[in-house]
Amino acid sequence: MLNRTPFYDIHEQAGAKLIDFGGWEMPVQYAGIKQEHHAVRNGVGMFDVSHMGEFYVSGDQALDLIQLVTINDASTLTPGKAQYSAMCYKDGGIVDDLLVYMLGKDEYILVVNASNIQKDFDWIKHQNSFEATLENLSDDTCLLAIQGPRSVETLQKLTDTDLSGITFYTFETGSLAGFADVTISATGYTGEKGFELYFNKGRVDAEAMWNAIMEAGQEFDIQPCGLGARDTLRLEMGFALYGNDITKDTNPLEARMGWLTKLNKPNFIGQEALKKAKEDGIKRKLMGLMIDDRRAIPRSGYPIVNENDTEIGHITSGTRSITLDKNIAMGYLPIEKAEVGTKVHIQVRNRTAGAEVVKPPFLEKK
Amino acid sequence: MSNPTNLKYTREHEWIKDNGDGTATIGVTDFAQSELGDIVFVELEEPGFTFEKDEEFGTIEAVKTVSELYAPVSGEIVAINEQLEEEPELVNDDPYGDGWMITIELADASELDELMSADEYDQITA
């Protein structure tokens, strides 16, 4: 039996098409991916992402544990700030990418991918030789993402917390839609202005929360959005998806996550391997591809080939970009082919299409 | 949307309409378009292409998935819906009308008898 979020009945009533996503029965689309995608780019959309995992790390050495397992420098966080990070294995391969929230001194929340919850929890627990307590709050935590240029106006109707004061990658805890203890975080996976709301399912009536937000967003034509639009939106921004673009067989340096890999912070798992990989020079790089053939829609796994039709890599994520109406993809390219402007080809079933190497995002950052 | 009773259906969720003059028109069902989601591209073989029953005659690309089109009967393509090149969303909007895909010259009209009626098709998609 698949896991369900507290919003399952709402999704069904809204006519969502539900799919199995990493063991969760989740909406892939409601009215249609295009309509949902445009709502987030131009108005506002709401995603149920309650399947994601939340771990509470506390105690005198909570920071030490987090520093050991993550590659970004969590010691730079202050209460109310969030940080994008990743966990690596000893060989530098990626365990998962995650968000680290600092609630207060010795109190943190780690937010991980749904399909990795058990793996990540076991991994961190295994590294915990510290005075730190690790608690899995995933089953009790709801997460709604409200994303798009009208997200501020939508949510401001429901809270006294000044949302314009919550800057990117910071958060506040306040009441929203009449429910106390809602964590309002200015984060997201769409490239648009937006918020992610965390709340406890025992203390908040999830359906009432959903309905209040839908009502507040009605004047902006708010759309419930599924995982399909979430994927097209993140791909236009070049955000990596664990399992596709980053895996245990890729390291953060080649995945263009060097900016968050703090090689010089105190000891962390994967540090030696990553330092060596950097010294030796990385051999391949995750880059964007702009496909010049409308008929060739790239999909994960399709080969990237050179002028001699020799396979030099494969596509890790691809789609027809709904905003640009062009075919876009990401994939690892050998370093000599990874330069922006390089021409390569991709094989889409029975045809070969030209592609140009670009540096994501495919859309201008806002 | 209910499935029109004047059409025949396949397990691959295609419909075929006997035009009564030796030709037939083929498209995908409302169920198929709804399962695929927003269709962004339809690739079809050209007029003149001949195929046996069950052979592939095209591909539908939706945002998230790609699906092959299989010939419900044998024949030769005499016309394709060229509007789909510019407006693939017609398949979503009007699968039994403006979203038609190809018209074929039937090789063996009796093959139509083997296909499902609207009632039978309703049962497999219910």
Give residue-wise pLDDT tens across range A99-145. 999 999 999 999 999 999 999 999 999 999 999 999 999 999 999 99
Percent of chain B whose pLDDT exceeds 90? 85
Instruction: Name the minimum distance, in Å, from the CA of B30 to any CA of chain A.
Output: 14
Q: Please give the residue of chain A at the shortest CA–CA distance from B33.
A: A32
Q: Quote the strand ranges of B1-126, DSSP E.
A: 8-9, 14-18, 23-28, 39-44, 50-51, 56-62, 66-70, 75-80, 102-106
Percent of chain A whose pLDDT exceeds 90? 95
Question: Residue A53: helix, strand or coil by DSSP?
Answer: strand
Q: How many CB pairs under 8 A join A and B?
A: 37
Mean pLDDT (whole number) for B99-115: 96
Which of A320, A328, A347 is best to mutate for the B interface (most B CBs within 10 A)?
A320
Ranges in chain A annotated CATH 3.30.1360.120: 8-52+139-236
Q: Is the ipTM of this complex over 0.85?
A: no
Superfamily of domain A283-358: Aminomethyltransferase beta-barrel domains (2.40.30.110)
Q: Long-range CB contacts (< 8 A, 24+ apart) of A278-285?
A: A278/A253, A281/A335, A282/A251, A282/A253, A282/A254, A282/A335, A283/A254, A283/A334, A283/A335, A284/A254, A284/A313, A284/A332, A284/A333, A284/A334, A284/A335, A284/A338, A285/A254, A285/A256, A285/A332, A285/A333, A285/A335, A285/A338
Nearest to A334 by CA among A245, A246, A254: A254
Ranges in chain A annotated CATH 2.40.30.110: 283-358
Q: In this model, does residue A176 exceed pLDDT 90?
A: yes
- pLDDT band at residue B66 using 50, 70 and 90 as cut-offs: confident
Q: In this model, does residue A366 exceed pLDDT 70?
A: no
Mean pLDDT (whole number) for A45-69: 98
Contacts of A209 (CB under 8 A, 6+ apart): A142, A144, A176, A177, A179, A197, A199
The secondary structure of A340-365 as a DSSP string is TT-EEEEEETTEEEEEEEEPSPSS--
Tally Cβ neighbours within 10 Å of residue A139.
Answer: 11
Digit-coded pLDDT (tens) for A144-158: 999 999 999 999 999
A33/B64 Cβ within 8 A:
yes
For residue B40, list chain A residues with Cβ-Cβ distance below 8 A.
297, 320
Facing residue for A232 by CB, picked from B61, B63, B66: B63
Q: In angstroms, what CA-CA distances link B31 with A281, A321, B9, B94, B95?
A: 52, 25, 11, 12, 9
* A190 in B contact zone (CB under 8 Å): no
Rounded Cα gap, residues A231 and A239, in angstroms? 9
The strand order across the sheet containing B66-70 reads B39-44, B56-62, B66-70
- pLDDT band at residue A365 using 50, 70 and 90 as cut-offs: low
Q: In this model, does residue B85 exceed pLDDT 90?
A: no
Mean pLDDT (whole number) for A204-219: 98
pLDDT of residue A67: 98
A297/B40 Cβ within 8 A:
yes
Facing residue for A319 by CB, picked from B59, B63, B92: B63
pLDDT of residue A349: 80
Digit-coded pLDDT (tens) for A288-315: 999 999 889 999 999 999 999 999 999 9
Facing residue for A297 by CB, picked from B34, B38, B41: B41
pLDDT of residue A266: 94
Rounded Cα gap, residues B83 and B88, in angstroms? 8
Domains of chain B listed by start with CATH number: 8-121 (2.40.50.100)
Facing residue for B61 by CB, picked from A29, A32, A297: A297
CB B17 within 8 A of CB B7: yes
Q: Please give the residue of chain B at the shortest CA–CA distance from A320.
A: B63
Output DSSP code: residue A70. Answer: B
Q: Please give the residue of chain A at the shortest CA–CA distance from B62.
A: A320
For residue B35, list chain A residues with Cβ-Cβ distance below 8 A.
17
pLDDT of residue A123: 98
**Where does A8-52+139-236 sit in CATH, by number?**
3.30.1360.120
Strands A94-104 and A17-21: unpaired
What is the residue type of A227?
L
Mean pLDDT (whole number) for A226-240: 97
Mean pLDDT (whole number) for A329-348: 97
Digit-coded pLDDT (tens) for B26-54: 999 999 999 999 998 898 999 999 999 99
Mean pLDDT in chain A? 96
Q: In this model, does residue A5 exceed pLDDT 70?
A: yes
Tokens, residue B43: 């690739």
Q: In this model, does residue A350 exceed pLDDT 90?
A: no
- pLDDT band at residue B63 using 50, 70 and 90 as cut-offs: confident
The chain B residues in contact with chain A (CB within 8 A) are: 34-35, 37-38, 40-41, 43, 59, 61, 63-64, 66, 92
CA A314 to chain centre: 21
Q: Is the peptide bond before A360 cis (omega within 30 degrees of 0)?
A: no
For residue B41, list chain A residues with Cβ-Cβ distance below 8 A.
294-295, 297, 320
For residue B34, list chain A residues with Cβ-Cβ distance below 8 A.
17
Which of A19, A20, A33 is best to mutate for the B interface (most B CBs within 10 A)?
A33
Mean pLDDT (whole number) for A30-42: 95
